[in-house]
């Protein structure tokens, strides 16, 4: 989750993260209605589920019809100018609705709220309340304040808040897959990125609350969880930092530090038929211990999103990524050696970062050839106010050059995606059915361990089924298979 997914060659369900998601109708008889629109990364969608839970406990049901809403929340992203402009356009629309329903309260949440703060309330006057990502518990009070006609704002960034005790309301759920947030904030200061300024410092969630959430999801019929964090590999929970000890029941000893590898193993042990994914990994932090943990468990998916941003060491230094080309290539070699060539790897890439030369752009293309990414999220550099890059470097690459370099990266990824997918043809794989095919009512969609979409005929199948398939055909973004076995006893 280094960056919003903007231009991509990736499975269709992942591409939806580029757009926005709205709440669905969840009626429990409550008098008031809240409508939530979420933009950006998976963490934002997870946060919206926390917001829905908080509002539910305070007398609100969710609605998918904005005209029925008493409260409208836009959970926003600031990673690119385009994302903020989209939100502004939506606010213009919602303010038009408010002219016909003056009692309606409009609030802006998340990263854009944290970045612009009072400006949205006092200068632009386009919202009634502004709430940062660490202040969602205060939403009911802030809504009441706004309803009284007063300024309602809370953008305090916490060093402790993880919302670990809140059970999320699953929005737009297929009942099969769910997100579990394991940490918040980011300590990496990538020069292009606003996240450290909008989400605060890194802090990890109590592992027992994470495991309890995973167990609860399994008991409710969910078959897959995705562990979320800005940088999951830096997850660390310890008595020293979190002020409590945890008993390791298996060995009867106190575990002083729980790393991401430890947590990943514990979640995998909830049930061997509960699939486990995670996002996002940082190249400087992903360890062999994590890779061997993935290898050990069939239900931990063999897929890693490993954002590189650039294939050139000088540009990576300007980006403050804290690794170079050689380090990144070493991590990819480790993935291939430990998890095999079939492990899916995806990436984020920025075209036209400050001072990037043509030769340095070529380094990105050559790195793509080395890694052979299954899919990628690609965009040209967009300067964001307040970032280190905006303060230190001139955005000096012409837009035409940025677009041309981006097009070359996209073309390269298209070539690699097709080649990687063709390698799957003839293989037997286990997929998890998680939705309908967009093109045919007689087909269903599932994902394999490497996070690729596989289309199969729907006869005899339902959402949540594991299916062993033989891959028969491939396109650049999709695999097609024939069903061999429904709900096999093993995910291997």
Is residue 88 a contact partner of residue 126, using CB atoms and an 8 Å limit? yes
Name residues whose C-beta falls within 8 Å of residue 133's C-beta, 6 or more positions apart in sequence: 47, 109, 110, 111, 114, 184, 198, 199, 200
pLDDT, tens digit, 9 for 90 and up, residues 316-361: 999 999 999 999 999 999 999 999 999 999 999 999 999 999 999 9
pLDDT of residue 124: 75
Count CA within 13 A, CB hemisphere, residue 241.
Answer: 15
Is residue 315 a contact partner of residue 341, using CB atoms and an 8 Å limit? no
pLDDT, tens digit, 9 for 90 and up, residues 372-411: 999 999 999 999 999 999 999 999 999 999 999 999 999 9
Distance CA 319, CA 313 (A): 10
35 three-class SS: strand
Which domains does the chain carry?
A: 7-154 (3.40.50.12160), 177-422 (3.80.30.20), 428-486 (2.40.50.140)
DSSP at 165: T
pLDDT, tens digit, 9 for 90 and up, residues 448-491: 999 999 999 999 999 999 999 999 999 989 999 999 999 999 89
Q: Residue 11 pLDDT > 50, yes or no?
A: no
β-bridge partners, 305: 346
Q: Residue 170 pLDDT > 60, yes or no?
A: yes
Distance CA 376, CA 381 (A): 15
Range with top average pLDDT, 75-84, 151-160, 188-197, 311-320 = 311-320
pLDDT of residue 412: 98
Torsion 35-151-127-135 (CA) sign = negative
DSSP at 221: T
pLDDT of residue 7: 37
Mean pLDDT of the chain: 90
Which band of pLDDT confidence, cut at 50, 70 and 90, is reported for residue 20?
A: low
Lowest mean pLDDT among 34-43, 79-88, 331-340, 434-443: 79-88
pLDDT of residue 244: 47
> Is the pTM value of this prediction over 0.75?
yes
Which band of pLDDT confidence, cut at 50, 70 and 90, is reported for residue 282?
A: very high
pLDDT of residue 21: 66
107 three-class SS: strand
Lowest mean pLDDT among 168-172, 239-243, 428-432: 239-243
Question: Quick one: which H or E segment has residue 359?
Answer: helix 358-371
pLDDT of residue 6: 35
Instruction: Return the closest-CA partner of residue 411 out of 3, 9, 6, 5.
Output: 9
Structure tokens at 184: 């918040």
pLDDT of residue 4: 29
């Amino acid at each position: 989750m280094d960056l919003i997914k903007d231009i991509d060659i990736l499975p269709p369900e992942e591409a939806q993260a580029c757009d926005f998601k709205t709440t669905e109708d969840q009626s429990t008889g409550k008098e008031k209605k809240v409508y939530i629109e979420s933009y950006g990364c998976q963490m934002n969608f997870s946060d919206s589920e926390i917001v829905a839970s908080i509002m539910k406990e305070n007398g609100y049901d969710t609605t998918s019809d904005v005209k029925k809403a008493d409260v409208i929340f836009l959970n926003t992203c600031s990673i690119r100018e385009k994302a903020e402009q989209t939100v502004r356009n939506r606010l213009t629309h919602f303010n038009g609705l408010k002219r016909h329903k003056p009692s309606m309260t409009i609030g802006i949440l998340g990263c854009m709220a944290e970045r612009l703060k009072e400006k949205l309330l006092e200068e632009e006057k386009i919202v009634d309340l502004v709430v940062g990502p660490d202040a969602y518990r205060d939403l009911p009070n802030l809504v009441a304040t706004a309803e009284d006609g007063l300024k309602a704002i809370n953008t305090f960034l916490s060093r402790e808040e993880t919302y670990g005790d809140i059970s999320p309301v699953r929005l737009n759920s297929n009942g099969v897959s769910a997100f579990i947030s394991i940490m918040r904030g980011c300590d990496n200061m990538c020069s292009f990125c606003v996240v450290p300024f909008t989400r605060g410092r890194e802090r990890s969630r109590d592992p027992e609350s994470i495991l309890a959430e995973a167990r609860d999801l399994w008991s409710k019929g969910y078959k897959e969880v995705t562990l979320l964090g800005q940088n999951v590999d830096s997850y660390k929970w310890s008595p020293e930092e979190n002020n409590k000890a945890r008993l390791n029941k298996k060995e009867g000893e106190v575990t002083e530090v729980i790393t991401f590898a430890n947590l990943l193993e514990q979640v995998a042990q909830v049930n061997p038929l509960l699939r486990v994914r995670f996002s996002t990994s940082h190249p400087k932090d992903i360890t062999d211990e994590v890779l061997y943990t993935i290898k050990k468990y069939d239900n931990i998916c063999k897929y890693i999103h490993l954002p590189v941003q650039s294939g050139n060491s000088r540009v990576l230094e300007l980006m403050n990524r804290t690794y170079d080309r050689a380090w990144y290539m070493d991590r990819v070699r480790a993935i291939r050696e430990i998890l095999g060539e079939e492990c899916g790897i995806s990436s984020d890439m920025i075209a036209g970062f400050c001072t990037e030369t043509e030769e340095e752009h070529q380094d990105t293309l050559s790195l793509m050839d080395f890694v052979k990414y299954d899919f990628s999220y690609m965009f040209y550099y967009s300067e964001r106010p307040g970032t280190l890059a905006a303060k230190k470097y001139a955005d000096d690459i012409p837009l035409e050059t940025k677009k041309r370099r981006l097009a070359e990266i996209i073309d390269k990824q298209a070539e690699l995606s097709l080649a990687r997918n063709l390698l799957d043809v003839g293989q037997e794989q286990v997929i998890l059915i998680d939705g309908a095919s967009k093109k045919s009512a007689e087909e269903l969609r599932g994902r394999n361990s490497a996070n690729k979409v596989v289309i199969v005929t729907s006869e005899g199948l339902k959402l949540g089924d594991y299916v062993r398939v033989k891959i028969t055909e491939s396109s650049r973004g999709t695999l097609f298979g024939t069903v061999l076995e429904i709900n096999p006893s093993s995910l291997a």
